[in-house]
Amino acid sequence: MTQPATSPAPKLETLGLSRERPLVIVDVDEVLGLFMKAFGAFLAERGFDFRIDRFALFQNIYPAGASEHLDIEAGRRLFDDFFATRCAEIEPAPGAVAGLQRLSRGAEILILSNAPPQAEQLRGQWLRRHGLPHPLILSSGPKGPITAGLVAQTPQRTAFVDDLLPNLDSVAEHAPATATFQHVADERLRPLAPSAPERHPRIDDWAELAAAIEAAVHGR
């Protein structure tokens, strides 16, 4: 189901989630799936270069051979087109499927993805195809407010995983009892990604990440 950023969080029961188990909220792009790799291939088919030389998105899109990046609005249109047509083709991040399946044995899993509304059907299909049939919420903007609305519904421990520091900080501000973890799946992005490990442990290996989340939500 799709939730605009300003909408209240849906009820956990409506999403098929139990209040009797810990809740783990997980991002998709560069956490569960290799978005940058797939988006780069999509751009190449359309005659654009995707140069990952900074932690950015639209500023990394260049007309082939050009020295100036593509206009931001033109880049945004390509982004929307990718999500409308090709977002079901991304590869799972290494270890992500096994890690999330491990976590699901002892916790409820909710997928919270900042993606355009037209991605809902394809993104849901992608999750199910890879053995991750968890509820999906599409949102936009900082993830703290909607996360706060979700975790407020359960007395259990909660955790949140994202690649973007602003989303992690937003969750820490609005839902401070939630354990936050950063994961950056694309090896090219890892040295470029802003991090604050003193606030949000940065764990780029999914086996280690799953173990750390288990410890956080089960009080180990």
Whether residues 173 and 190 fall in one domain: yes
The predicted pLDDT at position 3 comes to 38
4-14, pLDDT tens digit by residue? Answer: 333 479 999 99
> Is 84's pLDDT higher than 70?
yes
Q: How far apart are alpha carbons 178 and 153 in whole angstroms? A: 13
Q: Does residue 39 form part of some domain? A: yes
**Do 112 and 46 fall into the same domain?**
no
The domain tally of the chain equals: 2
CB neighbour list of residue 52: distance below 8 Å, 6 or more residues apart: 36, 40, 60, 186, 188, 189, 192
Q: Note the pLDDT tens digit of each residue in 55-78.
A: 889 999 999 989 999 999 999 999
Give percent above pLDDT 70 in the chain.
96
Instruction: Tell me what the mean pLDDT of segment 9-31 comes to.
Output: 97
The answer as to whether 10 is a domain residue is: no
Average pLDDT (5-32) is 90
Amino acid at 70: L
136 and 201 assigned to the same domain: yes
DSSP for 22-90 reads: -EEEE--BTTTB-HHHHHHHHHHHTTEEE--SSS-SGGGEEETT-SSPPPHHHHHHHHHHHHHHTGGGP
Q: Within this chain, do residues 128 and 154 fall inside the same structural domain, yes or no?
A: yes
Same domain membership, residue 59 and residue 27 = no
Residue 8 lies inside a defined structural domain of this protein: no
pLDDT value of position 53: 86
Q: Could you tell me which of 140, 176, 180 has the C-alpha nearest to residue 161?
A: 180
| pLDDT on residue 220 | 67
Is residue 27 one of the residues assigned to a domain? yes
Instruction: List pLDDT tens digits, range 135-193.
Output: 999 999 999 999 999 999 999 999 999 999 999 999 999 999 999 999 999 999 999 99
Which CATH number belongs to the domain containing residue 119 in this structure?
3.40.50.1000
d(CA 195, CA 182): 8
How much is the mean pLDDT over the chain? Answer: 94
Question: Could you give the CA distance from residue 73 to residue 63 in angstroms, rounded to a whole number?
Answer: 14
Whether 206 and 101 map to the same domain: the answer is: yes
Residue ranges making up the domain that contains 64: 35-89
* Residue 28: inside a domain: yes
Q: Summarize pLDDT for 39-58 with one digit per residue, the tens.
A: 999 999 999 999 998 888 99
Residues 108 and 139 in one domain: yes
76 and 142 part of one domain: no
Confidence of residue 2 (pLDDT cuts 50, 70, 90): very low
Q: Identify whether residues 155 and 192 lie together within a single domain.
A: yes
- How many whole angstroms separate alpha carbon 166 and alpha carbon 28? 16
pLDDT at res. 6? 37
In the structure, how many helices (H) and strands (E) does the chain have?
7, 7
Total residue count of the chain as it appears in this document = 220
